[in-house]
Structure 1
Amino acid sequence: MRFAPALLSFAVLLFSMVRISAQDTLGNVFDGPYLLYKGKQLLVKEVTHTAQKAFATEKSYDLTEKQKLVVKVKFSNAPEKDFEVKLKASLENEPSVWGQPDKLLFLSDIEGEFDALRNLLLSNKVINKKYEWIFGKGHLVICGDLFDRGKDVPATLWLLYKLEEEAKTKGGYVHTILGNHDIMNLAGNLKYLDKKYLAAAEAMGQSYMELYDENTELGRWLRSKNLIEKIGDNLCLHGGVSPEINELKLTVEQINAISKPYIGWKDLKNTVKDDKILKIFNSTVGLFWFRGYFKQPALEEAIVNQTLAQYQVKRIIVGHTIIKSNVGFYYGGKILGVDVNQHEGQHEAALFEKGNWYKVDLTGNKKPIKVN
């Protein structure tokens, strides 16, 4: 059957309009890529979402080709945001203790809101539009929660993965500290997971857990991260240090060393006998769940002082708990809360520069952080 040129042009235009309308509704229809190791093969899987279902593609590479492989992260609704990632030669556990950098940017609880992360890094001159590191010897610190709720979790993970290597070449560093949502996802607790990710896993013929287990690149990368770090004068983590954690008398190095084997472990409560591990991962007093600095009755300042003395720091920097006055100092400047509601458009971070602390946002303006 042959179509008249005018009718054919109309059909093409109608198809384009439907495609654009679908992208406006769905946002970025691309999901992934997901890299899975299978024997001597590296599988690269990607998903395209439609209004009806998700479709997956798969490419297989020999492991000897890994260092030549370039991962492409794509955005159907904004191709200018696309970026490429070269895979790391190896993945090593992160150090737990660092000296004091001259410049630090802290943010937390991104939870898949890729645009929030990207725009904060752009507006505060951490990266340029080509995703190149321009923060010099500065350090970027993510105080937990990369997973859940948001629509672009894999892209968020791949951007931090990419920036780690680029920062190092310029004398800077990226610290990705794990939060409760990260631990939950790795352990199969998907209570807050956006349904699109379950659809993506099904399309790839995988369980969601298999996308981030020990046989995947991102799963291995996440398991190399810490639960707590000491960076200069700052103790950095997701939730906070409870009295129960203080009582353990563990260094940050010890906490991370004994905890790493249990990242992604299911049902710790019924399968682990070690009291230290149970406290660290506990859903009330654990490092990435504790809210005692902010809920009422607030934690006694003497306990905060005990933590500062024990770890020999001047302040504790946490995410996890949204407070109206965040980004803000509490307990006379001893606690810095950096969690803001990224999902509701509140995109802010804390900047330490030349000995001063500022709240920064998408404008690039700097305001001194108030003590609440």
Structure 2
Amino acid sequence: MTVDQTPLFVVADVHGHRAELRDALHGAGLTDADGRWSGADARLWLLGDYVDRGPDGIGVIDDVRRLAGQAASAGGEVQALLGNHEVQLLAAHLLGTTTVPGWPQQDGFRGAWARFGGREDDLRRLGDEHISWIVSRPAMAVVDGYLLVHSDTTRYREFGDSVAAVNAGIAAALTSRDAAGWLAFCQLISDRGAFRDSEPASPDDAVATMLDTYGGEVLVHGHSTLTKHFGVAPGDVREALRYADGRVLAIDGGVYEGGRVLLTRLDEPRPSAAT
């Protein structure tokens, strides 16, 4: 196994807060004053939820796509995972007000998307290039010993027992036009809270199950905000939160709840793992 010595940064749940992401990247030296990549060979992974809740989700996607090209030209890397809000936005776009028997949402997928923070401007500006980008996003990766996912759930296992199988299974789900299947998919990828009560001694420890199945030594996730789900006051959000005996790192700073876009450097070099 090789050890990658280049800087590795992660950030999650920008939720349309384009200016805040730009400020965070510039403050870390990854971009210049004009928003262009200046991070040389650094690596940046975004863990999903670019859209909804904030003022310019499509602009965030455009910035990430642009930075990926600039970073690659400079010898760096910008990669982006799929979040549940991208799935919900696609469901609203593809299925509109379609309902599913037994589902009480009378205005269908579009109504559910709006209820969870969907912004009409994101839906209106969603173009073919954005859809192509979203459906090509992986759902998980292992980088330098970190298992990167969007949601703090074990339900990724329903798609397979390897990173490649999960990514292939979710990619296939995104091609479906079956309304019941989309509803189940949205619910699965929106699940949360699986790791907060995990104890290493437990035979069904959720964290160990994920790490043993997919690889890595530490699981890194967004999705569940430090502000609402971990009880950190918005003004006190300063750094990512380690929990579950140090095996999990929560990085959603709850920017739309008054927190911040929490760009986090994973400083300690760790062995790379195949994905």
Q: Does TM-score exceed 0.5, indicating one fold?
A: yes
Q: Are 1:114 and 2:18 an aligned pair? A: yes
Q: Are 1:228 and 2:132 an aligned pair? A: no
Alignment partner, residue 131 of structure 2: 219
8 A contact 1:240–1:287 mirrored in 2: no
Alignment partner, residue 244 of structure 2: 331
Distance 2:182 2:15 in 1: 28
Q: 1:173 Cα deviation (Å)?
A: 0.9
**What does residue range 209-288 of structure 1 map to in structure 2 within 5 Å?**
211-212=126-127, 216-242=128-154, 244-246=155-157, 249-263=160-174, 265=176, 268-270=179-181, 281=185, 283=187, 286-288=188-190
Decide which of 224, 233, 239 is 1:321's aligned counterpart.
224
Decide which of 195, 201, 205 is 1:293's aligned counterpart.
195
Task: Give the match's secondary structure for 1:141.
Answer: strand
Q: 1:268 Cα deviation (Å)?
A: 4.8
Task: Give the match's secondary structure for 1:106.
Answer: strand
Distance 2:231 2:141 in 1: 26
Distance 1:271 1:342 in 2: 28
8 A contact 1:320–1:339 mirrored in 2: yes
Alignment partner, residue 141 of structure 1: 45
8 A contact 1:238–1:289 mirrored in 2: no
Aligned-CA RMSD value: 2.6
Between the two structures, name the one with larger relative contact order (CA 8 Å, sep ≥ 6): 2
8 A contact 1:315–1:336 mirrored in 2: yes
**What does residue range 301-312 of structure 1 map to in structure 2 within 5 Å?**
301=200, 302-312=205-215
Q: 1:222 Cα deviation (Å)?
A: 1.5
- The structure with the greater share of residues assigned to strand is 1
Q: 1:236 Cα deviation (Å)?
A: 0.6
| Structure 1 residues 102 and 247, CA gap change in structure 2 (3 angstroms) | same
| Structure 1 residues 330 and 165, CA gap change in structure 2 (3 angstroms) | same
When normalised by structure 1's length, the TM-score is 0.57
Alignment partner, residue 359 of structure 1: none
1:91-129, Cα deviation, whole Å (9 max, x unpaired) = xxxxxxx97453111111111000111000000011001
| Structure 1 residues 184 and 247, CA gap change in structure 2 (3 angstroms) | closer
Q: 1:138 Cα deviation (Å)?
A: 1.3
8 A contact 2:11–2:261 mirrored in 1: no
8 A contact 1:108–1:145 mirrored in 2: yes
**What does residue range 13-162 of structure 1 map to in structure 2 within 5 Å?**
100=4, 102-162=6-66
8 A contact 1:102–1:354 mirrored in 2: no
Read off the aligned partner of 1:109 and give its amino acid letter: D
Task: Give the match's secondary structure for 2:152.
Answer: coil
Read off the aligned partner of 2:132 and give its amino acid letter: R
Alignment partner, residue 165 of structure 1: 69
| Structure 1 residues 267 and 100, CA gap change in structure 2 (3 angstroms) | farther
User: Where do 5+ consecutive residues of structure 2 fail to align?
Assistant: 93-108, 233-238, 271-275
Alignment partner, residue 104 of structure 2: none
Distance 1:240 1:220 in 2: 25
8 A contact 2:151–2:221 mirrored in 1: yes
How many residues are aligned here?
A: 233
| Structure 1 residues 253 and 115, CA gap change in structure 2 (3 angstroms) | same
Q: 1:304 Cα deviation (Å)?
A: 1.1
Task: Give the match's secondary structure for 1:316.
Answer: strand
Q: 1:262 Cα deviation (Å)?
A: 2.1
Distance 2:74 2:153 in 1: 33
Alignment partner, residue 5 of structure 1: none
Larger radius of gyration: 1
